[in-house]
Amino acid sequence: MVVGDIGDGKGGGGGGGVAAGPEGGGRVRGEPLVCYCEGHCPDDAYNGTCTARPGSQCFSAVEEVYNSETRKFEPERTYGCLPPEEQGLMQCKGYLVPHQVGKSIECCSSSNLCNKSLKPMYQPRSTVPPPPSYMLEEAIPYIVLISVTVVFFIVFLVIIACFYFRFKKREEEGRQSYLMNDHSNAYSVKSNNHLTDVIDASSGSGSGLLLLVKRTIAKQIQMEKLVGKGRYGEVWLANWKGENVAVKVFVTTEEASWFRETEIYRSVLMRHENILAFIAADIKGTGMWTQMLLITEYHELGSLHDYLKTTAVDPSALLTLAFSAASGLSHLHTEIFGTQGKQAIAHRDIKSKNILVKRNRECAIADFGLAVRYKSETNEIDIAANTRVGTRRYMAPEVLDESIDTKLFDAFKSADMYSMGLVFWEMCRRCATTRGSDKWNMQAEDYALPYHDVVPSDPSFEDMYEVVCIRKLRPVIPPRWNENEVLRTLSNLMQECWHQNPAARLTSLRVKKSLCKLKGDTGIKII
């Protein structure tokens, strides 16, 4: 590095001397210093000379400049006049100094244009430095694009996650609402409780609704055997905590029936010894399939239809079956007033297949998928949006000819009584009685469905309308029924139940009282 002395008239040889420069020329002491300039010329000239201010020096500098075409750092040399105020910054060192961009500077003042021959040292960088501002400016559009893409993707994932958790939350809320675990009408179930203890539980209000464990009951049930199949789905014998239960599995198209039956079972004061005991309702499935389950008490004797096909009964057993069936229907039809009262309910699908036979040979009414409730406070009938209709064979005349007044709740109860009259007829056919004094000569008709002799096995609306409404036929009453008091009384009751005029039919309570009186008159003990 060459650093010349600044002439001030005090150097050796006295004033007026000439200092030799590297170019072989010189300048008179006291005259302004002329420097070669390139890149730092006054008025942005490309190259030329500049006059240094008093006390200033000439300089030559080299710095690394990024070439956007070659994408590399390359040396760039500049020349010019160094202002006096920058000399104190110790810049004239000849090696890289800590600028934003590395820079090497050498200075001189020995002669005019002395800086033209200065060649500061330059050493290429061993590591790639951070890109200068103009590189960032070029990259800004790409950075913005990448940032927007990442933000959009994150927002998309968040939205998907929100929808997923919202769906799961609704599914869980739906499951919990279907489970009969209302805190106001429920009980804890311990793992060592027997099913009979659970079913006999009472809330104090008489509702008998149960609190099942929080986790879904569907995961605790093991299906064992298919015991029935119908248009709504299937019935399985299952095991729950060591006890037998019946699981009614609804097909997907019967969701309305499952929901309605669950609602009916949740009614306050619904529990009755002649109503099928309800345990829980649940939904089971994955993303591929869904099962709607209704869990109830299991009765191994099956439906009244199946029981009568294989079993003949005596008058005492017949009275027990008839009285218990009438008691269950009377409980449904009756409205109970109070703080937690029970609404009146009409079944709308009474038939022998929807009545189960308990171990003590009493009946229990089941299948409330078509039931309607009556709200006396508002005089409204709660009819579920269900596409199902009742069983055609058991339909009352006013239902077949569509003259039933659906705004009148008593009309639905009268239709139930017509159907119950047909069920009584099925029961009576299977009641065996003695002929004359021969107690060993027991007679009973074969089991048959109502109107079996006048309509096909699967009758249409037109078939039933022709028989019931046009021809006004009813099932035949055999003469032998008049020889037994129980059969005679039941035959009279059933004929009043299936009267053509709905207003002339007996009520379920009247039938129940008549059968109770029959018990007292005959001395038959009803279980």
Whole-prediction pTM = 0.62
Q: Which domain holds residue 384?
A: 302-523
Pairing of strands 233-240, 243-250: antiparallel
168 or 379: which leads in pLDDT: 379
Q: Between the ranges 50-54, 65-69, 216-220, 343-347, where is the mean pLDDT highest?
A: 343-347
Question: Residue 166: inside a domain, yes or no?
Answer: no
Q: Which of 349, 405, 438, 453 is catalytic?
A: 349
- The residue that leads in pLDDT, 306 or 166, is 306
pLDDT tens digits, residue range 407-417?
A: 999 999 999 99
Domain edge (last residue) among 63, 98, 117? 117
Catalytic residue status for 282: no
Q: Say whether 119 counts as a known binding-site residue.
A: no
pLDDT exceeds cutoff 70 at 393: yes
Distances in Å between the alpha carbon of 454 and those of 163, 383, 422? 58, 32, 15
pLDDT exceeding 90 applies to what percent of the chain?
44
- The total domain count for the chain is 3
Q: What is the pLDDT of residues 266-278, one digit of tens each?
A: 887 888 999 999 9
8 Å CB contact between 96 and 123: yes
d(CA 333, CA 342): 10
Say whether both 247 and 331 belong to one domain: no
Say whether pLDDT at 514 is over 50. Answer: yes
Beta-carbon-side half-sphere exposure of residue 169 (alpha carbons within 13 Å): 6
Average predicted confidence (pLDDT) for the chain: 81
Is residue 125 in some structural domain?
A: no
Q: Is the domain of 352 the same as that of 278?
A: no
What is the per-residue pLDDT across 172-196, written as a single tens digit (0 to 9) for each?
A: 665 555 444 443 333 333 333 455 5
According to the model, what pLDDT value does residue 189 have?
Answer: 36
State which of 239, 274, 297 marks the end of a domain. 297
What percentage of the chain exceeds 70 in pLDDT?
A: 76
Give the residue-averaged pLDDT of 303-311: 96
Q: Is residue 86 part of a domain?
A: yes
Note whether residue 270 is domain-resident: yes
Any domain includes 436: yes
Q: Which of 171-175, 384-388, 419-423 has the lowest mean pLDDT?
A: 171-175
Label residue 133 exposed, middle or buried (CB < 10 Å: 0-12, 13-18, 19+).
exposed
Contact 211, 183 (CB under 8 A): yes
CATH number at residue 345: 1.10.510.10
The 10s digit of each residue's pLDDT in 435-460 is 766 666 788 999 999 999 999 999 99
Of 258, 279, 297, the one marking the end of a domain is: 297
Asked whether residue 381 falls in the same domain as residue 240, the answer is no
pLDDT at 134 exceeding the cut of 70? no
